[in-house]
Amino acid sequence: MPLYIPDNLPAIEILKQENIFVEDIHTQLSRTLKIALLNLMPLKIITETDFVRLFSHTPLPVEIDFIKIKSHQSRNTYPEHLNVFYKNFEDIRNKRYDGMIITGAPVELIDFEKVDYWNELKEIFDWTSEHVGSSLYICWGAQAALYHFYGIPKYQLKKKMFGVFKHRINEHGIQLFRGFDDEFYVPHSRHTEIKKEDILKVPELKLLSESDESGVYLVMAKGGREIFITGHSEYASNTLETEYFRDKNKGLPIEIPVNYYVDDTPEKGYVARWHAHAQLLFENWLNYYVKNP
């Protein structure tokens, strides 16, 4: 089935070059899965395209509303783009959604309460409990939601968790993992972590997947109404490379992303080994937690 997104969204032209069929919202079918995507990432068009690409490969019709934080001014996306394609929270406050995604954000090293949009984000978190079928919280979004709902703290790492890491499933038979191999790979790009022992102290939380190297990966609560993911399964193939050279050119202390380049040599190119897992993850989320909660 096609994916229904706002007419003229920049992601459309990018995805057409990848032979992905999309239609504008005015031609949608009578019943689509309505997804709200709160985009906290600085390069919003890149993040939009990452998620649209994943949804466009599913057989389910999906309608996406892009949401922005009103109490924070984005410095990396043109205001005209935000005005045309994004809604504020008050625009959707009285709506209901089948699913919602809250992305990561580059504010890991700031205490949650000191993030300039923390109060607005807390209001959105609470709103999801009554207005969203299943919410998917990603990277810093997952850390923030776990802290808000369950008091789980985050901890600063000695160095950035950066690369593609092997993960395992702790509890088989979960529909979210249908079709998964016993081991799979996920990109991570973060300066903080949540700890397994903190998750295990909270009876409402289930630690469903982790990595020996990158730690906690996927936590679930309320039968899948809340799903917390610490990695970036949505990343495009070249995103880690872009981040690596960005930080390197800024003179920041960054190491070559783990398990990404052939022989750990950027000149030999990268190997993307997480896309099949990512597609299954999002298809399973749509099928079993959004469409049929």
CA distance 89 to 86: 10
Q: How confident is the model at residue 187 (pLDDT cuts 50, 70, 90)?
A: very high
Q: Which of 232, 243, 277, 283 is catalytic?
A: 232
Residue 191 annotated among the catalytic residues of the structure: no
Structure confidence by residue, pLDDT tens digits, 56-67: 888 888 999 999
pLDDT for position 42? 85
pLDDT for position 32? 85
Asked if the model's pLDDT at residue 219 lies above 70, the reply is yes
Q: How confident is the model at residue 167 (pLDDT cuts 50, 70, 90)?
A: very high
pLDDT for position 1? 47
Q: Which of 63, 193, 234, 283 is catalytic?
A: 234
Asked if the model's pLDDT at residue 76 lies above 70, the reply is no
Residue 139 annotated among the catalytic residues of the structure: yes
pLDDT for position 117? 95
Return the CATH fold of 3-291: Rossmann fold (3.40.50)
pLDDT for position 30? 44
Per the prediction, the chain carries an average pLDDT of: 90
Q: Which residue has the higher pLDDT, 24 or 215?
A: 215
Other C-beta atoms within 10 Å of 9: how many?
22
Structure confidence by residue, pLDDT tens digits, 80-95: 888 889 999 999 999 9
Residue 188 annotated among the catalytic residues of the structure: no
pLDDT for position 24? 47
CA distance 186 to 230: 10
All structural domains of the chain with their residue ranges: 3-291
Structure confidence by residue, pLDDT tens digits, 263-277: 999 999 999 999 999
Q: What is the 3-state secondary structure (H, E, C) of the chain?
A: CCEEECCCCHHHHHHHCCCCCEEEHHHCCCCCEEEEEECCCCCHHHHHHHHHHHHHCCCCCEEEEEECCCCCCCCCCCHHHHHHHEECHHHHCCCCEEEEEECCCCCCCCCHHHCCCHHHHHHHHHHHHHHEEEEEEECHHHHHHHHHHHCCCCEEEEEEEEEEEEEEECCCCCHHHCCCCCEEEEEEEEEEECCHHHHHCCCCCEEEEEECCCEEEEEEEHHHCEEEECCCCCCCCCHHHHHHHHHHHCCCCCCCCECCEHHHCHHHCECCCCHHHHHHHHHHHHHHHHHCC
Mean pLDDT of 103-119: 95
pLDDT for position 60? 85
Asked if the model's pLDDT at residue 27 lies above 50, the reply is no
Q: Which of 48, 139, 193, 210 is catalytic?
A: 139
Asked if the model's pLDDT at residue 26 lies above 50, the reply is no
